[in-house]
Structure 1
Amino acid sequence: MAAPFIEELVQDLSNRLSASQPTMRADSDYYEALFRPKALGVATPPEMRHMVSAIGWPRVYLDSLEERLDVEGFRLAGSSEADQRLWSWWQINNLDEESSIGHLEAMIYGLSYVTVTAPDETAPDQDTPVIRVESPRSAIADIDHRTGAVRAFLRLYPAPAGEPTADEAATLMVPGRVYYLVRSSGPMSRWRVESEVEGPDLVPVVPILNRERLSDRMGRSEILPEIRSVTDAAARTMMNLQAAAELMAVPQRLLFGVTRDEFESDPDNPGPVLDAYYARIMAFENEAASATQFTAAELRNFTDVLDQLAKQVAAYTGLPPQYLSFHSDNPASAEAIRSAESRLVKKAERKCRMFGGAWEQTMRIAMLIMDGEIPQEAYRMETLWRDPATPTYAAKADAVVKLVTAVTPDGRSVIPVERGRIDLGYSEEELREMEQWDNQSPTAQLNALMSVANPPLATSGSKAEEE
């Protein structure tokens, strides 16, 4: 590609990224509880409108969903165990932590990106690709809507310290090439190519899409309009609650027959007037004076509205009642808690299916970069996820013990012990450690000695019998 075309492509992608910033900023503000509703309470004095509260329901929803998305490995077709090589790539690139950030970014903004590159020549480990998670706030991809493939990818970042004449830098990935560009600030500045290197035949970028639709392949934020409107309503209600608490929550007193002079706190200084606080006692010598008070405002109408809004959020998101601080007086049983979480668990399972395809494609691209080809069994790769449900450990252990010890009519266990350990959620390292302990047990060693001392008899028609 010619340099002018590259500069035009970078400028086009940069403009598209800048145009998307207001929408993504609003998404982030709702998640961070920084968004302030425009329509404030009409009955609230202007000087008290700064008291609008931060309602964090979107963050409670997304964090509760993301906390149930944990990758535990990858399994190739025809294998019953997780692939150790792919899992080592995952661990070396710190994707246990980075994947959580990528999932959260995808749910906030509608998408995030994963890039795969070959290891640098100076890297100590030349057998591990570099896998990074990128935010859509600083990166953008040009996706072919017909095939879903990424045609170009741009990532913006501050210029390195060695570029005193540049303020911004960019990395552009296109099929076969990777370009590094810089530009200085100013309306007339242009992107210029500093260097370029050879890349794979495809763009090694995989988008993690959230709420993808047939009519919208770019993904959508999980903070839906109905969640935003209820959050805004709760913020306004909370602000009005604070205003009412400041003005009318304490009974207001009325004094009759008292002149202003009697309110002077210092007779020698007639300027200051007595400040009447909540517990201040006021006494006057005027026999004609009398006092009365208004009834304090009832604030329950505000709290009832907040409870109803929280129930609307629960209906939209599937969050259990206890996540939003409203529940019955009687504590829920374990079965009731699992029943309340059923929608949230099913939603998490759908996210696992949606995001799992992106991680499988990431690992296939990594194999292509490191090996030069993608093996056939990798096209039916499976992402292994931790169970998003929250059963108690005792209940899960009881179910596994029953399945391991149960015997079928032909004398076999329903599931082997190894499968039971996997179902209990032990990691690959813990499973290998348990296998070593099993081999070191006296029973296993005795069985090994017995098998050596008493080899199995040859069956009729075998080669040993013929000899």
Structure 2
Amino acid sequence: MNAEWTSTDKMIDFSPKNVQGLAPEDQTDFDELVEVWRVKLMRNCLRKKYYSQKNTLKDLGIAIPPVLKKMEYALGWPAKAVDMLSVRSRFDGFVTPGDVDHGVNDILKENNFSVLYRQATTSELIHSCSFITVSKGGAGDPAVVISAYDAETAAALWDNRRKKIRCGMTIVDVDPKSREPTQINLYTNTAIIEMKKNRADIWEAKYKNHKQGRPLMEPMVYRPSLDRPFGKSRVSRAVMSIADSAIRTAVRTEVSSEFFTSPQKYIMGADPGLFAKNSKWEAYIGNILAVSKDEDGDKPDFGQLPQASMQPHMDYMRTLAAQFAGETGIPISSLGVIHDNPASAEAIYAAKEDLIIEAEGLNETNGTALRNIGLLVAAISGNTTIDALPDDVKKMQPRFRNPAIPSVVSQSDAIIKQVSAIPWLAESQVALEELGYTESQITRLLSDKRKYQSQKALEALIAGGIGDNDAEQ
């Protein structure tokens, strides 16, 4: 987009009816897509607020003074729920049985897809889904252009019979002043339809036909189900509710800490005129407090009210952190809750096990979407269809790094044990992948290996030639 898309609490009310040049059946699908986008927008904006730590205090009207109700307080737990899972889903390119991918991995690099995938995964976890589109590149573009959109700027209709989207739309550009869309792309089985608003505020459609037989748009969904094919948000109702309680607890803790810092004191029997020139706060913080006897010779009584304990607030925050950890699978230590005793290595791994299992499930569902994207990229770059691709290309699979993110020492030890049991595994590129080497590092290592082998072979030939000459003499 030329202008950054900023969602507001008020939905943007636009409905492009009777787009010039748009076929009636496509207009019907477009109207339905706009309605889906509008209905879901408010909830998607709300979840984005929680992730961006911009959710406001929801006061119960009991324990928080009115002056503090507008206090700004940020809580990073919803962002933790998203980021700690997305960082464990690390896409590392496509692999094929014959190591021939029609240049798909090169096209991904040209589109900086490693970064684009992380962005799409983050949006997927926030809103439940995100969308990736592919199209033929123009002059100065890669052979295939890959773009990503979140649920605030895209929508799709699901085809239950074919188990894929029937059509979809993306908001490509918005007006920087009115914040209304000015360009929208519609994706159908036969075309990408570019719809733009002209200077007369009239929408016009332009068809760019293709031969793939499916929309050039693929959803990435988190935890899909039969009743929710576009998945569920990681920022769930439970996550938002616990975050609200945690923010209230934090504000109440601030209020309590003020009273804890300056416990309330009192003086009984003192002349009020002694404090006429100074405020009560100045009297409290003064270095010397001198109070004389009254006219009867009696001394005033000094006292201090008992301080309110901070412990109940801290205990409740710990309880909320435990609930949040149970809801999201995030280790409670990652939420800022400190344990009295340091955890063992086994306990640390056990605390992360739920998150690792969640990441494996995320990789599985995202892997299906990525494979479809890879096939589309291969078909478009080869100016053919998916059905006409070679069999080895059709068997391409996405490769992910280990979501457990093991240490180099533990991973090396595991590989050594596996190679001992399966010796030929040492000659496989998979062993290098499991050791954590990146694709570029593996390429360099294999290149250095070939150079070394060539050098040794040349030395052997030279040594053999010298030995034969000596024998003839």
The TM-score, its normalising length taken from structure 2, stands at 0.83
1:422-437, aligned counterparts within 5 Å? 422-437=433-448
Figure out how many residues of one structure are paired with residues of the other and give that number: 433
Tell whether 2:291 aligns with 1:284: yes
**2:68 partner letter:** M
Deviates more, 1:58-67 or 1:41-50: 41-50
Change (3 A) 1:401 1:310: same
Tell me which residue corresponds to 1:199: 210
1:198-277, aligned counterparts within 5 Å? 198-200=209-211, 201-265=213-277, 273=279, 275-276=281-282
Tell whether 2:404 aligns with 1:382: no
Tell whether 2:147 aligns with 1:147: no
**2:76 partner letter:** G
Change (3 A) 1:255 1:11: same
Tell me which residue corresponds to 1:26: 46
**1:44 partner letter:** I
**1:177 partner letter:** A
Task: Report % sequence identity.
Answer: 22
Tell me which residue corresponds to 2:15: none
Q: Per the alignment, in what secondary structure is the counterpart of residue 168 of structure 1?
A: strand
Tell me which residue corresponds to 2:471: none
- Runs of 4+ residues over 6 Å off in structure 1: 451-454
Change (3 A) 1:446 1:241: closer
Tell me which residue corresponds to 1:3: 22
Alignment deviations for residues 222-258 of structure 1 (CA, whole Å, 9 cap, x no partner): 1222222222221121121112222454211101122
Identify which of 182, 191, 194 aligns with 1:180: 194
Identify which of 107, 110, 125 aligns with 1:107: 125
Q: Per the alignment, in what secondary structure is the counterpart of residue 50 of structure 1?
A: coil
**1:284 partner letter:** V
**2:285 partner letter:** A
Deviates more, 1:444-453 or 1:222-231: 444-453
Tell me which residue corresponds to 1:89: 107
Q: Distance in 2 between matches of 1:103 and 1:221?
A: 12
Tell me which residue corresponds to 1:123: 140
Distance apart, 1:136 and its partner CA: 1.4
**1:431 partner letter:** I
Identify which of 436, 448, 455 aligns with 1:445: 455
Q: Distance in 2 between matches of 1:231 and 1:71?
A: 30
Over the aligned positions, Cα root-mean-square deviation in angstroms equals 3.0
Alignment deviations for residues 254-305 of structure 1 (CA, whole Å, 9 cap, x no partner): 011223322122xxxxxx7464375324322344323211111101000001
Tell me which residue corresponds to 1:40: 60
Distance apart, 1:34 and its partner CA: 2.0
Identify which of 341, 344, 361 aligns with 1:333: 344
The TM-score, its normalising length taken from structure 1, stands at 0.84
Identify which of 72, 75, 88 aligns with 2:95: 75
**1:446 partner letter:** K
Work out whether residues 74 and 82 of structure 1, in 8 Å CA contact, stay in contact via their aligned partners in 2.
no
Tell me which residue corresponds to 1:98: 116
**2:432 partner letter:** R
Q: Distance in 2 between matches of 1:273 and 1:419?
A: 75
Q: Distance in 2 between matches of 1:190 and 1:440?
A: 64
Work out whether residues 73 and 83 of structure 1, in 8 Å CA contact, stay in contact via their aligned partners in 2.
no
Q: Distance in 1 between matches of 2:32 and 2:425?
A: 60
Q: Distance in 2 between matches of 1:203 and 1:242?
A: 53
Tell me which residue corresponds to 2:416: 401
Deviates more, 1:17-26 or 1:316-325: 316-325
Tell me which residue corresponds to 2:13: none
**1:395 partner letter:** S
Unaligned runs of 5+ in 1: 266-271, 455-467
Unaligned runs of 5+ in 2: 1-19, 465-473
**1:14 partner letter:** V
Q: Per the alignment, in what secondary structure is the counterpart of residue 250 of structure 2?
A: helix
Work out whether residues 167 and 184 of structure 1, in 8 Å CA contact, stay in contact via their aligned partners in 2.
no
Q: Distance in 2 between matches of 1:213 and 1:355?
A: 14
Q: Per the alignment, in what secondary structure is the counterpart of residue 319 of structure 2?
A: helix
